[in-house]
Amino acid sequence: MAEKVRLQKILADAGVASRRKAESMIAAGYVKVNDKPTQVGDKADPKHDKITVHGKLLNTHTESVYALLNKPRGFITTMSDERDRKCVAQLVKDIPARVYPVGRLDRESEGLLLMTNDGEFANAMTHPSHHVPKTYRVTIHPGITEEQLTQLAVGIMVDGRRTAPAQVRILHQEKGRVVLEIILHEGRNRQIRKMCEELGLEVARLKRTAIGPLRLGMLQPGEWRYLTQQEVKQLSAAAKADRLSFKQNQKFQGIHR
């Protein structure tokens, strides 16, 4: 008997969307199996069932693709936009597979953004129970105090919840600006900008330089490259780090000069 799989997993594996986004699409009635409406939690046989999304037949036999994009400022992290704003889809048009962003960088932020059609991988990298560290280079105007540095490191209240401890160090400082390296172990929306806003700090530039062991390197803004098999394995291993490992790392976090 053929093995049936939850629809959201099938859609994610086919590169349509992440699991969470796929669930929303199913709930909205965009997904049918053998021409019949579906509900969240329904299962199907990806090898034999006819699965359509927005009326189009789903190709369930695609090869997994993993890419690293250096997102420039001014681009939104989506594959389409009703307001016709610049989006990252324009930067990866020459990737033959249908990929989508893993997580987000806001419009004015830049740097490392993962792109894939592997829903399992995307879910592992973005799920709240995982703590893959993300490294940012943040330029602050006009400066920062020792107290503000400490608050960034130990955590502050943002949107009613305290942020997790972070690693913070000064990379460069001169009159009128300071450049920080901030390593986060959680992935809230616009987290660094909100933390800085709470402390009265002006963010002039925000660039993601690493996700776990993967670094942006010399890739220029707007350029992308495929990940190696080793890099995919390293990221997957980092995503599987359990809560115990995360808690053990807390004692190493704080301010470093």
**pLDDT tens across 46-81, in order?**
888 999 999 999 887 778 899 999 999 999 999 888
User: What SS3 class is residue 31?
Assistant: strand
Q: Are residues 157 and 202 in the same domain?
A: yes
Q: Are residues 116 and 223 in the same domain?
A: yes
Q: Are residues 95 and 144 in the same domain?
A: no
DSSP conformational letter for 76: B
Whose tokens are 């973005």? That residue is 126
Is 49 one of the catalytic residues? no
Q: What is the pLDDT of residues 119-162, one digit of tens each?
A: 889 888 988 777 899 999 999 999 999 999 999 999 999 999 99
In a domain, 235, yes or no: no
Q: Are residues 27 and 149 in the same domain?
A: no
- Cα angle value 161/165/168 (rounded, 5°): 125
Determine the Cα–Cα distance for residues 208 and 221; give it in Å rounded to an integer. Answer: 12
pTM of the model: 0.76
- Which of the following is catalytic: 106, 118, 159, 242? 106
Determine the Cα–Cα distance for residues 139 and 94; give it in Å rounded to an integer. Answer: 32
In DSSP terms, which residues pair with 210 in a beta bridge? 135, 215
In a domain, 252, yes or no: no
Q: Are residues 26 and 145 in the same domain?
A: no
